[in-house]
C-alpha cells in the first residue's frame, strides 16, 4: 500500500509541477458470470459452485510533459480465473509503473519495462491479458542514439512475477534472478537495398534461492546424471532485415551457454541451446510468396528451470504455422516449442484480377528427432465482385500431436482433421452488412466431428450482433482421458455450444456482451498457448481510451 501511495503522490506532483502536459489513459474490464452445465464439463469448481461471478480490470494512465513520460497501471482481479482457469483469485494493486525522460539522444526509463531484442527470440518482455502473461522487466533501461544509423540499448532488472495469490500484496513481486541485456540496432541504405542489422547479448544470474532449488533437484538424480548448476547463463543473437524492391528477408541466429533446463517431460538436464529463424517474402502485383523456417534446439529461456508453463518466460519464439481465424480450424493451433522443433511453412497468394484471390499453405513441424508434431495443407478462394456480395471458401487438412501440445496421455493418436468452410457477406447498404460462415470438421479423434455456423449483422461503426452454434454431431466415444486402468471413458453425447454476442462502439468506448457455451481446449496467442476448461455463462467486456 505504501508503494502505491508513493507512486500516486509522485504522479500528482509531476502533474502539478508541469501543469501544461497531456494526460491519456485506457481501461479494460472483463466480467464473467458462471452458469453450471455438467453436460459439457462446465462445473465442479468454486467458480460454478460458490462464487458464480468473477472479473478483471486494468486502468492505465500516461502523462507527458517536457520530455517526461510517467505511466501507472492499476490491476484488479476479483474471483478471476485468468491465472488458473478452474480457480478463483482475488487481488488488487499497482500492476505496472514507469518514468521515462528524453534528453536529446538519450532515453532513460525506470520501472516496469516492455521491450524486446530482434524478433524476441533472445528477450521479450510483454503483456498478453488473454493468457495473463505480464513478464515486464522491473529495473532500468537506457537507449542512446549513437548516430542516424545506430541505436544502443541496455536493460537490467528482475522479471515481474505475475502472482495473484488471494489478498496478498503480490502484484509487485519479482523473480529472484537478475537479467541484463545489451542490444545494438542499425539502419543502413546501400543503393536500393535497406539493411537493418542487430546484435544482442543477455546474461541471467540465478539468485541463491533458485540455485538451491536447482541443486536439490539435481541431487535427486542418479549419480551418473548429476552435474554442477551454473549461476550465470549467457545468450547471444544476431539478426538482419533486408528490404530490396519486392523482396524482404529476415534472418536471426541465437545461441545460449549450457545450464540446467527442464526437458519436455520435466527432467533437469545440462544443455546449451540454439535457434535459427528466417522469413522470406516476395510480393508484386498479382502474387505474394512467404516462406518461414525455424530450428530450435534446447533454447529454453526462463528465469530459472524451476518455472513451468507461462511462468518466468524471458523470450518469445515466433510461431511458424499460420493462425487461422475460423472457430474450428483454430481449435488445433500449435504452440512454439523451445526444446526441440524443426518447422517450416510456405504461403502463396495469387490474385489473377481485382475480384479473385487464391491462397495456398503448407506447414510441417516436427521435433529434431523427427517426431511428427503438426502438418497443415490449406487452400482458399476469395471472390468479391465489388458490389453487394463477397464469398470465401476453402478446405484445411491438419495433423496435430495432442500428446506434445496438450500433454494428454501418450496413448492418444494424432488428431487428423479435414475442414471445409464457406463464408458469404452481403452489403445491405454502405453501413450495414450480413455475414454467414459455415465450417465442418471431420475427425475421428479428440471429441469427434463438428459443425459450426455463425450469422453476423453489422451496422458500422456502432453495432455488431451475432449468433453462433458449434455442434458435436459425431462424438468420439473415446474422447476422455483414460482412467487408472487404461480404459477410455465413453462420452457419446452430442452437445450444442451456443454463442450469442452483441457489441456497441461509440467513439473510443466499446461494450460487448455474450452468452457463451465453450468447449474445453487450447487458447493460443502468438504461439504461446494454455489449456482452458469448458465455459458456460455470460461474458461482458468494456474497453475505453481517453
Residue 486 pLDDT grade (very low, low, confident, very high; cuts 50, 70, 90) = very low
> How far apart are alpha carbons 106 and 153 in whole angstroms?
10
Average pLDDT taken over every residue of the chain: 90
Q: C-alpha distances in angstroms, 164 versus 77, 86, 95, 493, 540?
A: 8, 14, 11, 37, 21
pLDDT the model gives residue 114? 97
CA distance 113 to 241: 25
Question: Which residues does residue 188 pair with via DSSP β-bridges, in sequence order?
Answer: 195
Question: For residues 96 and 539, what is the distance between their CA atoms, to the nearest angstrom?
Answer: 26
pTM of the model: 0.89
pLDDT-based confidence at residue 487 (cuts at 50, 70, 90): very low
Question: Cell numbers at residue 65, please?
Answer: 510533459
Report the residue count for the chain: 546
Which residues in 287-309 are b (16+ Cβ under 10 Å) and which e?
ebbbebbbbbbbbbbbbbbbbee
Bridge partner list, 513: 502, 540
Nearest to 334 by CA among 255, 276, 395, 415: 415
- Compute the C-alpha angle 230/156/76, nearest 5°: 105
Give dist(CA 522, CA 528) in Å, integer. Answer: 10
Instruction: Spell out a b/e string for 509-541, using b for 16 or more CB atoms within 10 Å of the CB, else e.
Output: ebebebbbbbbebbebebbbbbebbbbbbebeb
Q: Where are the beta strands (DSSP E) in 354-431?
A: 356-366, 372-384, 389-400, 415-427
Which H or E element spans position 153?
strand 150-159
516 contacts 541 by C-beta, under 8 angstroms: no
Which is nearest to 390 in space by CA: 417, 363, 423? 423
Beta strands in 47-105 (DSSP E): 53-65, 68-80, 89-103
pLDDT, greater one: 14 or 498: 498
pLDDT of residue 478: 65
State mean pLDDT over 152-162.
95
Query: Rounded to whole angstroms, how far apart are CA atoms 109 and 62?
Result: 14
**Average pLDDT of the segment spanning 219-223:** 91
pLDDT value of residue 485: 36
Q: What is the pLDDT of residue 481?
A: 44
Read off the pLDDT of residues 273-308 as tens digits, 9 standing for 90 and up: 999 999 999 999 999 999 999 999 999 999 999 888
Strand, helix or coil for residue 505: strand
Confidence of residue 415 (pLDDT cuts 50, 70, 90): very high
- CA dihedral angle for residue 204, residue 210, residue 213, residue 217, rounded to 10 degrees: -10
Instruction: Give dist(CA 34, CA 535) in Å, integer.
Output: 8
pLDDT band at 131, cuts 50/70/90?
confident
- The secondary structure element, H or E, covering residue 217 is helix 208-219
Is the predicted pLDDT of residue 11 greater than 80, yes or no?
A: no
Q: Which residues lie below 8 Å from residue 25, measured CB to CB, with a gap of 6+?
A: 59, 60, 61, 62, 545, 546
Under a CB-based contact definition with an 8 Å cutoff, are residues 353 and 382 in contact? no
Partners of 289 in beta bridges = 282, 348
Phi/psi for 423 (5° steps) reads -145, 140
Residue 268 has pLDDT above 70, yes or no: yes
Q: Which three cell numbers stand for residue 334?
A: 500449435
Which SS3 state, helix, strand or coil, does residue 3 take? Answer: helix
**Distance separating alpha carbons of residues 519 and 498, to the nearest angstrom:** 10
List, in order, residues 6 or more apart from 21 with CB less than 8 Å away. 15, 63, 64, 65, 66, 68
Q: Given this model, what pLDDT does residue 522 score? A: 78
Q: Tens digit of pLDDT for each residue in 67-103? A: 899 999 999 999 998 888 888 989 998 999 999 999 9
The pLDDT, as a whole number, for residue 488 is: 39
Question: What pLDDT band is residue 504 in, cutting at 50, 70 and 90?
Answer: very high
Instruction: Dig out the grid coordinates for 6 from the structure.
Output: 508513493
Q: Are 183 and 154 in contact (CB under 8 A)?
A: yes
Tell me what pLDDT residue 200 has. Answer: 98
With contact defined as beta carbons under 8 Å apart, do 380 and 361 qualify? no
Query: Do 319 and 336 meet the contact criterion of CB atoms below 8 Å apart?
Result: yes
Amino acid at each position: 500500500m505504501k508503494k502505491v501511495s508513493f507512486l500516486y503522490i509522485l504522479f500528482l506532483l509531476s502533474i502539478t509541477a508541469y501543469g501544461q502536459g497531456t494526460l491519456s489513459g485506457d481501461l479494460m474490464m472483463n466480467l464473467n458470470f458462471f452458469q453450471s452445465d455438467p453436460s459439457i464439463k462446465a462445473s465442479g469448481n468454486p467458480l460454478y459452485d460458490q462464487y458464480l461471478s468473477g472479473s478483471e480490470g486494468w486502468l492505465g494512465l500516461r502523462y507527458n510533459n517536457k520530455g517526461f513520460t510517467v505511466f501507472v497501471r492499476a490491476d484488479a482481479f476479483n474471483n478471476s480465473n485468468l491465472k488458473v482457469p478452474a480457480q478463483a483469485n482475488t487481488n488488487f494493486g499497482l500492476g505496472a509503473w514507469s518514468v521515462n525522460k528524453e534528453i536529446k539522444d538519450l532515453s532513460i526509463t525506470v520501472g516496469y519495462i516492455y521491450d524486446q531484442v530482434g524478433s524476441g527470440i533472445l528477450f521479450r518482455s510483454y503483456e498478453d491479458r488473454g493468457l495473463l502473461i505480464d513478464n515486464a522487466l522491473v529495473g532500468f533501461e537506457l537507449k542512446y542514439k549513437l548516430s542516424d544509423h545506430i541505436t544502443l540499448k541496455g536493460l537490467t532488472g528482475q522479471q515481474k512475477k505475475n502472482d495473484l495469490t488471494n489478498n496478498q500484496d503480490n502484484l509487485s513481486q519479482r523473480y529472484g534472478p537478475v537479467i541484463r541485456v545489451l542490444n545494438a540496432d542499425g539502419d543502413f541504405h546501400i543503393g536500393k537495398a535497406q539493411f537493418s542489422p542487430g546484435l544482442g547479448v543477455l546474461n541471467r544470474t540465478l539468485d541463491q534461492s533458485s540455485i538451491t532449488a536447482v541443486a536439490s533437484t539435481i541431487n535427486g538424480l542418479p549419480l551418473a546424471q548429476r552435474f554442477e548448476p551454473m549461476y550465470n547463463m549467457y545468450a547471444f543473437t544476431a539478426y538482419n532485415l533486408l528490404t530490396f524492391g519486392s523482396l524482404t528477408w529476415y534472418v536471426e541466429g541465437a545461441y545460449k551457454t549450457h545450464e540446467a533446463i527442464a526437458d519436455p517431460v520435466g527432467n533437469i538436464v545440462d544443455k546449451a541451446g540454439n535457434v535459427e529463424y528466417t522469413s522470406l517474402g516476395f510480393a508484386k502485383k498479382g502474387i505474394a510468396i512467404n516462406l518461414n523456417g525455424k530450428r530450435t534446439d534446447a533454447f529454453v529461456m526462463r528465469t530459472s528451470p524451476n518455472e513451468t508453463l507461462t511462468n518466468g518466460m524471458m523470450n518469445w519464439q515466433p510461431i511458424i504455422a499460420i493462425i487461422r481465424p475460423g472457430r474450428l480450424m483454430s481449435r488445433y493451433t500449435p504452440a512454439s516449442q523451445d526444446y526441440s522443433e524443426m518447422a517450416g511453412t510456405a504461403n502463396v497468394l495469387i490474385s489473377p484480377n481485382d475480384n479473385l484471390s487464391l491462397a495456398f499453405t503448407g506447414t510441417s513441424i516436427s521435433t529434431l528427432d523427427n517426431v511428427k508434431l503438426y502438418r497443415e495443407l490449406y487452400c482458399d478462394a476469395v471472390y468479391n465482385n465489388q458490389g453487394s456480395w463477397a464469398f470465401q471458401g476453402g478446405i484445411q487438412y491438419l495433423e496435430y500431436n495432442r500428446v506434445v501440445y496438450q500433454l494428454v496421455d501418450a496413448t492418444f493418436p494424432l488428431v487428423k482433421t479435414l475442414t471445409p468452410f464457406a463464408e458469404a457477406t452481403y452489403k445491405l447498404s454502405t453501413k450495414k452488412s450480413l455475414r454467414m460462415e459455415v465450417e465442418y470438421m471431420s475427425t475421428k479423434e479428440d471429441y469427434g466431428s463438428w459443425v459450426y455456423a455463425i450469422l453476423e449483422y453489422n451496422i458500422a461503426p456502432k453495432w455488431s450482433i451475432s449468433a453462433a452454434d458449434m455442434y458435436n454431431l459425431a462424438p468420439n466415444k473415446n474422447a476422455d482421458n483414460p482412467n487408472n486402468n487404461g480404459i477410455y471413458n465413453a462420452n457419446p453425447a452430442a452437445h450444442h455450444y451456443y454463442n450469442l454476442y452483441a457489441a456497441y462502439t461509440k467513439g473510443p468506448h466499446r461494450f460487448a456482451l455474450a452468452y457463451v457455451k465453450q468447449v474445453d481446449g487450447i487458447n493460443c496467442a502468438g504461439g504461446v498457448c494454455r489449456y482452458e476448461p469448458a465455459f458456460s455463462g455470460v461474458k461482458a467486456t468494456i474497453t475505453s481510451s481517453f
